[in-house]
Structure 1
Amino acid sequence: MSTNPVRLSEQALIEQFRRELAGGAGRSRKHESADKQVCGQAEYIDDKLAPPGLLHLCPVLSPHAHAKILHVDTAPCYAVSGVVRVFSWQDVPGELDIGPLAPGDPLFAREKVEYHGQVVLMVAAQTPQAARAAAQAAVIDYEPLEAVLDVETALARESYVEAPHVQQRGDADSALARAPHRLQGAFHIGGQEHFYLEGQIAMALPGEDGAVQVFSSTQHPTEVQKLVASVLGLTMNKVTVDMRRMGGGFGGKETQAAGIACHAALAAALTGRPAKLRLARRDDMRITGKRHPFFVRYDVGFTDEGVLHGVKIELAANCGYSLDLSGSICDRAMFHADNAYYLGDAKVTGYRCKTNLASNTAYRGFGGPQGMVAIEQIMDSIARKLHLDPLMVRQRNYYGGEGRDVTHYGQTVRQNLLQTITGQLMQSADYVTRRERIAAFNAHSPVLKRGLALTPVKFGISFTSSFLNQAGALILIYTDGTVQLNHGGTEMGQGLNTKVAQVVADVLQLPLENIQVTAASTGKVPNTSPTAASSGADLNGKAAEIAALTLKTRLMEMLCRLHSCEPQEVHFSNGVVSAAGRYFSFAEVANLAWLNQVPLSATGFYKVPGIHYDRQAGRGEPFYYFSWGAACSEVLIDTLTGEYRLLRTDILHDVGNSLNPAIDIGQIEGGFVQGAGWLTTEELVWDDTGRLVTDSPMSYKIPAISDVPPVLNVQLLARHANAQQTVYRSKAVGEPPFMLGISVWCAIQDAIASVSSYNIHPHLDTPATPERVFWAVQAQREGTDAF
């Protein structure tokens, strides 16, 4: 359904201008840690001064994907000088399992190992070198067992970590039978290593009464607190988790940072000495899970115009050996199997396949990108079949119009910006003219071929587990007029602290420099949700706004009592407060509040309204709103080698009323490049034993500066505020831009298809490495059908 956009009124424009003068929300301000990070002064966990007696930990990992543990001999470990203790499952005083949602993730392997790289032992020594040497000295006897290493085998054997789930509307089988045209296909979508700059790390300090303080590089301090307490057999009030900043997370530190913290806390508690576990990059990549690889099968019917007429999509996720968050991730893939398109009669099935690999986990987009790739593959396949421009097919299937505004899971699509964004981007990217030029170039160029694709993004914002859509904040005002802010979100480089501080600065009308954001701490804001699902600013910004408004109201009421005036006579502006014609600095008002015994601390709590989903019925409204965007990418491929270059990308993205345009544009650029990397260069390879071969920067290629297109135009959609009551009518920006990278993969397919004059849709699994591009070109020349 196409609705009138929420536009800024004249009063709203004046209000935005006022905020910009105050340095609050809506203004481009640099990241609060930017200077420290550039100068190397930003403190991460490994930068902290080593406390006296610090122990260093190193894991002993399984060399088998599936095997029984017959015998463990740790005596050779103790022969290494400096070794203090070797830990195994027998040393855990509390619960061994640290599964985030369901059992299945033991801190140590007990009787068997279930993936190559699983932790069997943990060595604690006085130096990192001694710990590593001792770990290599451990002797463990195994009896290898049969291992399932690929998703298709797991699917055939019905090997699942959770039962399959179905979302459906109408009768897809009947619609397919009546369709004028019908296509079937299957392809693989690769996984992705998080490759955060700061690897998994935690340091734990023992305290009084069995308490422990944990410094953890985690997106979910409360989860770490809960699981450390469980492993140690403590109550949660004995565990405090501190998280100042991460050097990147991307979902890899939502659940899997907890195990690292538990190992450090266990060593600290049992030895009475501080302990630190900083994984080597190779160990990190072998131990931790990735983005879920998917195997996709589809059966689609459509009209002569390319409009969908019945869809069946099967999404089989390679979950690894345990559940982790795979249930919710696969659900989100199913939610986004429509992307921007009205599916009509549809059946979407999600399979959670169990394999003997590391347990795959959250990654930017949380399953949404895999679902979107599936439907974009379908759009391109239809276009090749009907000899139509793929963008034309996409537009004909967009949500919009009476009866075409409800998703296959029953949520009405509101504030639909699809046509607005597509139209503006087509014009700014000169799509029509470039499409004609590319066709002419390809017709006369036998070796080099160009490809062009414009793909949309519709991404739902909220946690799919509705109870997680909550946040808290704590604000303290001191008598000198400065403010300390703590909220439940975690800073991982995305600028969350900067945005939340801008909100508080705007409410209290203070310079941003007067707001000090402290480390996320379970001792200040309890029971927090993870910083994930693009919800960081939405949830924590709103909680902080509520806390700041509480304090502002208290100050206003005090001034009204003291000066016999009405609330409308009290004004906060640029660090100055006026009341009944008298003017005070904010510091004077704060000190006055202290003298008059007015509390200068406040908490704020926010929960997202109206979210619900009946999983058994497969229907509901799991998202508060949708973020929209589109990208137009052009590539050049060499048909003789499979090499390619990304030449240009134009992006138009919807962020509502931006809290910080500079940070939002940075997130869009980074998300796009990371998404393009997932679909092009970042190939994960396991050998026949289940060992990860691409386990270092030498073998796993993330995008470099040379992979960024020389022409990258990024614009924020102007004058379209969020229709929902989010903080300042802004929209989330963390995950949605990631899916803009799909345009690069589709452009590569477009270039390959030109080899057969666009008559055959190429079979191109992701990532689209040069080898895969080369073989897809060969298939085009041989006239081989894609599937």
Structure 2
Amino acid sequence: MPQAHFAELHPDAPASGAPHPHESARAQVQGAAPYVDDVSEPRGTLHAAPVLSPVAHGRLNGVDASAALALPGVHAVVLAGDIPGDPVLATFVHDEPVLAQGEVHHVGQVIGLIVADSMRTARQAARAVRLDITPLPAILTIDDAMAAQSFVLPPVTVTRGDATAALASAPHRLQGGFAVGGQEHFYLEGQVALALPQEQGQWHILSSTQHPGEVQHWVAHALGIANHAVRVECRRMGGGFGGKETQAGHMAVWAALAARKVGAPVKLRLDRDDDFLITGKRHPFAYRYDVGFDDHGRLHGLTIDMMANCGWSADLSGPVADRAVFHVDNAYFLGDVVVRSYRCRTNVQSHTAFRGFGGPQGVIAIEAILGDIARALALDPLAVRMANLYGPRGATERNVTHYQMPVEDNILHELLPKLELLAQYQRRKEAIPSWNAAHPHLQRGIAITPVKFGISFTATQFNQAGALVHVYTDGSVQVNHGGTEMGQGLNTKVAQIVADELGVPMALVLVTAAATDKVPNASATAASSGTDLNGKAAQAAARTVRDNLAAFVCGLDGCGAGAVEFRHGKVVTPKGERDFAAVVQQAYANRIQLWSDGFYRTPKIHYDKTTLTGRPFFYFAYGAACTEVAIDTFTGEYRVLAVDILHDVGRSINPAIDIGQIEGGFIQGMGWLTTEELAWNAKGELTTKAPSTYKIPTAADVPAHLHVHLWPEANAEDTVHRSKAVGEPPFMLAISVWEALRNAVAAARADLAGAEDRVPVQMDAPATPERILWAIGRPGAQEKSPSS
């Protein structure tokens, strides 16, 4: 429904809570919403292309760019020696050179840049550069890294109770392991930056980034100048998913270095193949576990090793692996437990943030374990999951995580049974054996899995935000905040919040581009906290302006400030009402401040990063999904037949956007676990580097039956309008697809064996048709799945 149409139909409705369309939707559909690559290039703009390492690990002896420089239209080559500031990027670990020098560490590492008149010429010239590299031994897998004890950061262990004793005394015990692959972000808009030299050594950087503040810091650090000399701007991104949190900083630094050398604006836009080779992915993980449990499937003890493939440098691997540790419990109480986390260094791309930020890799571990337990005991997997949940709201037992955070708001004891009824889970589950018996070559499976996802940056200092609200004399409102818009609807929600705070129609509120000269030191738009943080900051700024206007009107009408209301574009007092714009004009004439800043810091959070204990999260978001699948036992092909989701977004600010995020997150998670396979060859080259070889889900993969229901309760914590974050939590609902596939595989194996199958299903993710066949163990199929 167009925004104007909605407003016309509901003129008295608050903006928040309504399904307003995305603020840029119409412009995007019309092709009128510019991205970085659409911005008109200043006269004299040149283009850069990267020179990439062709080997996974080697000694860089020399670079011969003479053939490239001889090509018409080529202006310069940029190498590590051209960096005026620190040649190492300003990352937390400070372990990644801006441009390779001395050694190369993965296929696709950027060694230098070619600057030319056009993008085509620059890319052609980059391929003409000759590199002298002596190959060195490379570590390409988690197994190799563990054998060599090759880590980007030291291993971390979190313990509670006595897992060894609990395992020894448990009535039942299982050991197992599996692997989960990485995932390419595959944002529709690739990585791009435009560096514009300004007067007196200043810089303007247009960047497709989730973190303008970090881009500012990185560029200043590499150029050897102060942060205040670098202005970074991002109006919108064509998708990010975490892939533009740190990785966008590389593009901006490279573009700025090239622009400094040639003394002209420089744009760097990666083509898709280079983007695949250069940028990091979701971290692949491998797991080993030993679990003890009773006859009802309740956990008695657990030890689990989680090994993350971090690539060649740390990037964000530390906090990603930490969050996997925090979420290895998912929704379940782990009493006696040992969690060991290994951060493996390999000679592949340096893996980075991705939607869920390690949470999915933690959640899938415990869900796989509980699925194995249910099959071992021949119990309903949902019953086993219910038996292991944290205590319900108000419980004083089984309500503290293994990292010592109380779980105070667990709604899953109510949410899961409600979804069970909505999806008619029991009826469908009971019908599957008969259906499978009648269709021996097509086997169905069904699963319900929950999610409990912690909301906040685990690095406490990032849980802060600022905003500016300007009210102009015609009554229109401009808002600027530190968050970035990547299609998730952040600016739409912020506009709704500010409109309600000032009591004006949403059409009067404009949210402008994120820029480091407006709101300084802003955190990345990540950790699902964009609305929580920036919405609260914008609300605070708008409230200050509103209070200024209320005090002014009170002086005119002789009433108390509490008697003034702002609604439907009017300012109402006991003596009458005025148009908002008229009040603003009168206030301006009386020199009343009509703009303000706002600031917000998340309360209650704290944790010790050396022991990984405390309260790293403000609250938890909950949800569950029921998925039914069918597999072809001859080919391993599958189809997702039906999905029912019940998800907790608190009091929704925009139900249309929230449902879209739930649907999109689920489908992206389904891709991670089923079709999106990253494959490196024996030389360390990523061979799945284009849409022809890397398969993201398409519209054809979305089941016809995909029903999303929102949990009706408000957030118990004081978030903006008592809403909850929605960006990342739904991603993990797709684990229900993987568990349903494993249940279908177990049914197929039992059919082949002619008996009940209680052996754990050995299947890595993504569950490609090949892996499904291997897991079934059909005669003639390869016996062992390759490691992810």
Report the TM-score when normalising by structure 1: 0.96
Counterparts of 1:273-312 in structure 2, within 5 Å, are: 273-312=264-303
Partner of 2:92: 101
Partner of 1:635: 629
Verify: 1:146 aligned to 2:101, yes or no.
Answer: no
Q: Which amino acid aligns with 1:323?
A: A
Deviates more, 1:692-701 or 1:413-422: 413-422
Verify: 1:469 aligned to 2:447, yes or no.
Answer: no
Verify: 1:478 aligned to 2:477, yes or no.
Answer: no
The Cα shift of 1:615 comes to 2.6
Partner of 2:737: 744
The Cα shift of 1:505 comes to 0.3
Q: Which amino acid aligns with 1:701?
A: K
**Are the structure 2 counterparts of residues 781 and 623 from structure 1 closer, same or farther at C-alpha, using a change threshold of 3 Å?**
farther
Partner of 1:771: 770
2:724 corresponds to which of 717, 731, 736: 731
**Are the structure 2 counterparts of residues 20 and 613 from structure 1 closer, same or farther at C-alpha, using a change threshold of 3 Å?**
farther
Partner of 1:347: 338
1:84 corresponds to which of 45, 70, 75: 75
The Cα shift of 1:579 comes to 3.0
**Are the structure 2 counterparts of residues 183 and 784 from structure 1 closer, same or farther at C-alpha, using a change threshold of 3 Å?**
farther
Partner of 2:486: 492
- Name the CA distance, whole Å, in 2 between partners of 1:651 and 1:686: 35
Does the 8 Å contact 2:185/2:240 carry over to 1? yes
Deviates more, 1:107-116 or 1:260-269: 260-269
- Name the CA distance, whole Å, in 1 between partners of 2:123 and 2:777: 48
> Cα deviation per residue 1:465-487 (whole Å; 9 max; x = unaligned)?
01000000001010000000000
**Are the structure 2 counterparts of residues 280 and 431 from structure 1 closer, same or farther at C-alpha, using a change threshold of 3 Å?**
same
Does the 8 Å contact 2:78/2:261 carry over to 1? no
Q: Which amino acid aligns with 1:569?
A: A
> Cα deviation per residue 1:249-291 (whole Å; 9 max; x = unaligned)?
0000000100100111112222221110000000001000000
Partner of 1:656: 650
Counterparts of 1:611-690 in structure 2, within 5 Å, are: 611-690=605-684
The Cα shift of 1:783 comes to 14
Verify: 1:598 aligned to 2:592, yes or no.
Answer: yes
Alignment RMSD: 1.6
Partner of 1:124: 115
Partner of 2:580: 586
Q: Which amino acid aligns with 2:156?
A: H
The Cα shift of 1:458 comes to 0.4
- Name the CA distance, whole Å, in 2 between partners of 1:112 and 1:592: 67
Structure 1: unaligned runs, 5 residues or longer: 1-17
2:362 corresponds to which of 338, 358, 371: 371
Counterparts of 1:76-475 in structure 2, within 5 Å, are: 76-400=67-391, 401-475=395-469
- Name the CA distance, whole Å, in 2 between partners of 1:301 and 1:402: 24
Find the residue that maps to 2:85 and give its secondary structure. coil
The Cα shift of 1:78 comes to 1.1
Find the residue that maps to 2:777 and give its secondary structure. helix
- Name the CA distance, whole Å, in 2 between partners of 1:452 and 1:359: 36
**Are the structure 2 counterparts of residues 785 and 42 from structure 1 closer, same or farther at C-alpha, using a change threshold of 3 Å?**
closer
Partner of 2:5: none
The Cα shift of 1:22 comes to 4.1
Partner of 1:545: 539
The Cα shift of 1:583 comes to 2.1
- Name the CA distance, whole Å, in 1 between partners of 2:481 and 2:737: 37
The Cα shift of 1:441 comes to 1.1
- Name the CA distance, whole Å, in 2 between partners of 1:338 and 1:721: 24
Q: Which amino acid aligns with 2:647?
A: H
The Cα shift of 1:105 comes to 1.4
> Cα deviation per residue 1:442-485 (whole Å; 9 max; x = unaligned)?
12321110000000000000001010000000010100000000
Count of residues in correspondence between the two structures: 769
The Cα shift of 1:772 comes to 0.3
Find the residue that maps to 1:474 and give its secondary structure. strand
Q: Which amino acid aligns with 2:722?
A: R
Find the residue that maps to 1:21 and give its secondary structure. coil
> Cα deviation per residue 1:174-199 (whole Å; 9 max; x = unaligned)?
11011111111111110000000000
The Cα shift of 1:357 comes to 0.6
Does the 8 Å contact 2:774/2:784 carry over to 1? no
Verify: 1:697 aligned to 2:691, yes or no.
Answer: yes
Deviates more, 1:591-600 or 1:771-780: 771-780
Find the residue that maps to 2:584 and give its secondary structure. helix
Q: Which amino acid aligns with 2:743?
A: D
Does the 8 Å contact 1:212/1:269 carry over to 2? no
Q: Which amino acid aligns with 1:109?
A: A
**Are the structure 2 counterparts of residues 584 and 368 from structure 1 closer, same or farther at C-alpha, using a change threshold of 3 Å?**
same
Deviates more, 1:689-698 or 1:749-758: 749-758
Verify: 1:74 aligned to 2:73, yes or no.
Answer: no
Does the 8 Å contact 2:774/2:782 carry over to 1? no
**Are the structure 2 counterparts of residues 248 and 594 from structure 1 closer, same or farther at C-alpha, using a change threshold of 3 Å?**
same
Find the residue that maps to 2:89 and give its secondary structure. coil
> Cα deviation per residue 1:37-59 (whole Å; 9 max; x = unaligned)?
11111110111112100101100
Find the residue that maps to 1:304 and give its secondary structure. coil
**Are the structure 2 counterparts of residues 256 and 662 from structure 1 closer, same or farther at C-alpha, using a change threshold of 3 Å?**
same
The Cα shift of 1:585 comes to 1.0
Q: Which amino acid aligns with 1:767?
A: P
- Name the CA distance, whole Å, in 1 between partners of 2:76 and 2:565: 63
Q: Which amino acid aligns with 2:762?
A: H
Q: What percentage of residue pairs aligned between the two structures are identical?
A: 54
Partner of 2:549: 555
The Cα shift of 1:101 comes to 1.1
Verify: 1:29 aligned to 2:23, yes or no.
Answer: no
- Name the CA distance, whole Å, in 1 between partners of 2:66 and 2:616: 54
- Name the CA distance, whole Å, in 1 between partners of 2:221 and 2:191: 20
Partner of 1:9: none
- Name the CA distance, whole Å, in 1 between partners of 2:389 and 2:66: 66
Partner of 2:6: none
The Cα shift of 1:641 comes to 0.5
Does the 8 Å contact 1:22/1:573 carry over to 2? no
- Name the CA distance, whole Å, in 2 between partners of 1:19 and 1:462: 34
Deviates more, 1:28-37 or 1:775-784: 775-784
Does the 8 Å contact 1:179/1:301 carry over to 2? yes
- Name the CA distance, whole Å, in 1 between partners of 2:783 and 2:70: 62
Find the residue that maps to 1:419 and give its secondary structure. helix
Find the residue that maps to 2:12 and give its secondary structure. helix
The Cα shift of 1:569 comes to 2.5
- Name the CA distance, whole Å, in 2 between partners of 1:770 and 1:670: 23
Report the TM-score when normalising by structure 2: 0.96
The Cα shift of 1:204 comes to 1.0
Find the residue that maps to 1:741 and give its secondary structure. helix
Does the 8 Å contact 1:210/1:269 carry over to 2? no
> Cα deviation per residue 1:357-393 (whole Å; 9 max; x = unaligned)?
1100000000000001100110011011101111111
